[in-house]
Amino acid sequence: MTRAKEVANPSDRWWRQGPVIAASVIGGGVLVGLLAPPVFRTPPATTPVIVRTTARAGQMVSTPQVSFAGVSWHDYHGVLLPYSAEDGPRDTASDLASGFARTPRGALLAAIHIAVRANVQWGSDVFGPTIERQVTGPDASTLLDATRRAYERLKGDRPDGAMLSRGYVVLEAFRWQGYSPEAASLDLVSAGPGDSDVTVRAVARFQLQWQDGDWRLLAPPGGTWVGTAAPVDSPDGYVRFPSGGA
């Protein structure tokens, strides 16, 4: 995929399909867009919703430093994802990803890998165990049910567990909302194909909790990611990934 072009009015062309960590929202959709193959014609709210977190504001470091030294990017069904020998994921068996360090970089990598794999696009063999084991909060079961329903609608005559399609999204940048060893909140900017071969961007907010020795993604309110994403003109003002958008 070529580098994203600027869009004069991204709200006019919201994701048609495909994966975008920002807006189509996972299967029930997340990574929003990546998040979700469902057709998305109406843009979400202009500002991402701040979802709940267990960490108090006073405990959060707003802009922890994250080095990308030693981070490599590898293809995951069409999406380049970051990997670190130090911060994870340490276990990638069965197309899943777990085992992240209790560090800012570990939280960032966990947010990316869990959100991507929670997408309906990769099939129930991936999004099922990802949401069951790595998504937490009171709305996790609702998210899983919604993603399963979306998968049944979209898979047609494919065998159970089969992937729906490859991804067409670029992870471009991020920005911290807060971090502590117990919880983290960050925004991710992604870009994907829109109408007339023009690339559109979205920003989505993800929150994590440290639980049972690993980072877990907090399920969005109501089990839907739609309210956590918004269109964005460019990644300016965010920390750009050194290799993901190349």
DSSP letter for each residue of the chain: -PPPPP-S-GGGS---SS--BBTS-BTTB-TBBTT--S---S---SS------SS-GGG-BSS-----TTEEEEEETTEEEEEETTTB--B-GGG--B---SSHHHHHHHHHHHHHHTSGGG-HHHHHHHHHHHEESTTHHHHHHHHHHHHHHH-TTSPTT--------EEEEEEEEEE-SSEEEEEEEEEEE-GGG-EEEEEEEEEEEEETTEEEEEPPGGG-SGGGEEE-S-STTSEEPTTTT-
Q: What is the mean pLDDT of residues 81-102?
A: 97
How do residues 118-158 score in pLDDT, each as one tens digit?
A: 999 999 999 999 999 999 999 999 999 999 999 999 999 99
Band (195; pLDDT cuts 50, 70, 90): confident
Q: Which of 127-131, 162-166, 233-237 has the highest mean pLDDT?
A: 127-131
18-27, 86-95, 160-169: least confidently modelled range: 18-27
Q: What is the mean pLDDT of residues 187-211?
A: 89
Q: Look at residue 22 and tell me whether its pLDDT is greater than 80.
A: no
Distances (CA, A) of 86 to 48, 90, 97, 99, 226: 31, 8, 14, 10, 33
Is the Cα torsion angle 114, 115, 118, 119 positive or negative in sign?
negative
d(CA 177, CA 90): 25
**DSSP strand pairing (229-231 vs 199-211):** antiparallel
Q: Look at residue 5 and tell me whether its pLDDT is greater than 60.
A: no
* pLDDT attached to residue 113: 98
Length of the chain: 246
Q: Which residue has the tokens 């290799």?
A: 243
Q: Look at residue 230 and tell me whether its pLDDT is greater than 80.
A: yes
